[in-house]
Amino acid sequence: MPGGLYLASASPRRADLLRQIGITARCLPADVDESLQAGESASDYVLRLAKAKAETVAARLAHIHEPIWVLAADTTVVSGGEILAKPENFADAQRIWRHLTANDHRVLTGIALWHAGKTAYCVVSTRVDFAGIPEADQKAYWDTGEPQDKAGAYAIQGRAALYIRGIEGSYSNVVGLPLAETAALLRDANFPLWP
């Protein structure tokens, strides 16, 4: 494997966001335990997972003698003090949607960038004003497959845009990778953002 940027993720959304800003990364998912630890805050949770993913993949690439950067991210949704992970099934998605409608919610993403033996990181938060999914639409939305692997059971970049009244903060963060903050980490680590 050559040097360059590795994305410690299997998320096509994160790879697409990087391509949007002219960056191509090799995807190399990290296998880490994503269980929430007792008493862990949402920001500590996403940051711990992002750092673990970046460092796990960096360790797998230790044999490469060219410069490498390993980028990782983890996203979750917090509403009413509860961390809302990916839905287990349709009924769980309905519970999550009710929760999002009744409470203000935030999307939190932890980003970690490993380079030359050091890991830089940050957490980005975006507030989302969720109108709610009418009961008549819920099964049809579930059947699109969109909410099934997303924290908070929705994809702002997809059909769920119908139910988002507004956001405060980074749109790309809600999709899964806050681009301005990611670019800042890359720049600080001397990654060439422009060819």
Residue 41 inside a domain? The answer is yes
To which residue do tokens 């769920």 refer? 160
Residue 62 inside a domain? The answer is yes
Residue 70 inside a domain? The answer is yes
Residue 195 inside a domain? The answer is no
Give the CATH number of the domain where residue 33 resides: 3.90.950.10
Residue 118 inside a domain? The answer is yes
Residue 182 inside a domain? The answer is yes
Q: Domain containing 72: what range? A: 4-188
Residue 158 inside a domain? The answer is yes
Residue type, 12: P
Tens digit of pLDDT at every position of the chain (195 positions): 678 999 999 889 999 999 999 999 999 999 999 889 999 999 999 999 999 999 999 999 999 999 999 999 999 999 988 999 899 999 999 999 999 988 889 999 999 999 999 999 999 999 999 999 999 999 999 999 999 989 999 999 999 999 999 999 999 999 999 999 999 999 999 999 987
Number of separate domains in the chain: 1
- The residues annotated with a catalytic role in the active site are 74
Could you count the other beta carbons within 10 Å of the beta carbon of residue 191? 17
Model pTM score? 0.93
Q: Contact at 8 Å (CB) between 172 and 17?
A: yes
